[in-house]
Amino acid sequence: MVAIVLAAPIRPGKHEAWRRFIQEIQGLRHDQYQASRHRLGITKELAWLGNTAQGEIVILYLEAHNPPQLLHTLAASQAVFDRWLMRQVLELHGIDLAQLDGAQDCELLLSWQATAALAAQEVFNRSQTPPE
């Protein structure tokens, strides 16, 4: 699996609409959403909503079988859910996903992960520190 991370600001005044969009994906359109993810080869998707000095931003993390093909397939899709999703992204973020085709290339500059042994040692060390 290869991961894709996208950061997309939410357009001013669209916060509540974005929350309703997510609720609709998790509710009424959940079966269509799952079918879309399967069709696009997406195996994991996480979305965070954050606040910055410039406004709200969504951080999207995707794992997929073929990331370079993902946006092309989505842009060409005639599936009702996929078309709806692209309209929502355009309205909420001002981003035309069809225009991003091939633009998701990023260079990973830092990656770190604690090993199980290191994490266990840190927990042990904290448990040995006397209370103040």
Closest CA to 70 of 104, 96, 45: 104
Q: Are 93 and 9 in contact (CB under 8 A)?
A: yes
* CB crowding 63-87: b at 16 or more within 10 Å, else e: ebeebeebbeebeebeeebbebbbe
**In the chain, % of residues over pLDDT 90:** 50
Per-residue pLDDT, averaged over 27-44, amounts to: 95
What pLDDT sits at residue 102? 52
Q: SS3 for 55?
A: strand
**Domain count of the fold of the chain:** 1
- Tens digits of residue pLDDT in 53-84: 889 999 999 899 887 788 888 888 999 999 99
Q: Is the pLDDT of residue 132 over 70?
A: no
Query: What span, in angstroms and rounded, lies between the C-alpha atoms of 111 and 88?
Result: 32
Residue 17 belongs to a domain with what CATH number?
3.30.70
CA torsion angle for 57, 60, 66, 69 (degrees, to 10)?
Answer: -30
DSSP letter for 27, please.
Answer: T
- Tens digits of residue pLDDT in 93-114: 999 888 875 545 567 777 777 7
Task: Name the least confident of 6-15, 38-47, 80-89, 97-106.
Answer: 97-106
Could you tell me the residue range of the domain that residue 31 belongs to? 2-128
**In the chain, % of residues over pLDDT 70:** 91
